[in-house]
Amino acid sequence: MEAEVDKLELMFQKADSDLDYIQYRLEYEIKTNHPDSAGEKNAVTILKELSAIKSRYQALSARFKPISIEQKENQNRICATLSKTMTMIQELQKQTDLELTLLTEEEKAVTEQLK
Amino acid sequence: TLKGDVNTLLDEARLVSQESTRFIKATKVLMK
Amino acid sequence: SDLEQLCSYVNEKIDNIKKILTIRNLGQAPSLKTTLSKIEDEIITVNEFLNNLELEIQYQEQTNKSLKELCVSLEEDLKDVEHLK
């Protein structure tokens, strides 16, 4: 059994290296037949650039998603804290018979905005 | 489609940035 | 799943080779050369988009920091008010 498994493993390794060699030879042939020139890149180079920008896009997308979620959470937390604080201040002003400080137009506008 | 996806994500990112910037300004007004 | 991973690994290599085989003679026909240069232009455009996206993400990381600082300061204010109360 053990021998069979080793044999199978060797076959996979052989296939793997064969595939690498085939790819290498093809790329080498294309680069040789159509070397990159100043204005023109060959198809292999472009193919590599395409896969590079795909992986760069995936990396940036994976980085962006959690940040935007965290921003939303922070904003919600700030809103909750702000409204609690403002409510409490108004209650305190009532309790101490202090004159309620009215919100300025600007403050009203941003309160609406934050709501 | 990759170009479209990147463009869509870029637009989304810009929107989130604008919203956060506005939010921070508004909060600072109330904190004064 | 190991076997499936091995399978997809080998299939991916075969796909890559197939792709290269399809573009093997691409560089020769003039009309296909224009296709290549168009693709090249598109790659440049997409890279510019990705550069802008990276700048946006860096800006948002900074904004996130400011939001966190605002949050901490507001929560301290709330504690003060609760203490007053």
Residues of A within 8 A of C24 (CB-CB) are 26, 29-30, 43
- C70 in contact with B at a CB cutoff of 8 Å? yes
| pLDDT number for residue C26 | 65
Residue C16 vs residue C23, higher pLDDT: C16
Neighbours of chain A (3+ CB pairs under 8 A): B, C
> Whole-number mean pLDDT of chain C?
87
Q: What are phi and psi of B7, to 5 degrees?
A: -60, -45
Beta-carbon contacts of C23 under 8 Å, excluding residues fewer than 6 positions away, are A30, A43, A44, A47
pLDDT for C30-58, tens place per residue? 777 787 888 888 999 999 999 999 999 99
Q: C50–B2: do the CB atoms touch at under 8 Å?
A: no
Mean pLDDT within C59-65: 91
Instruction: Determine the distance in angstroms separating the CA of A88 from the nearest CA of chain C, rounded to an integer.
Output: 7
- Percentage of chain C beyond pLDDT 70 is 94
Below-50 pLDDT ranges, chain A: none
Q: What is the pLDDT of residue A21?
A: 95
Q: What is the pLDDT of residue A101?
A: 65
Q: Which residue has the higher pLDDT, B5 or A34?
A: B5
**Contacts of B among chains (3+ CB pairs under 8 A):** A, C
pLDDT of residue A38: 67
Nearest Cα to A59, choosing from C59, C46, C53? C53
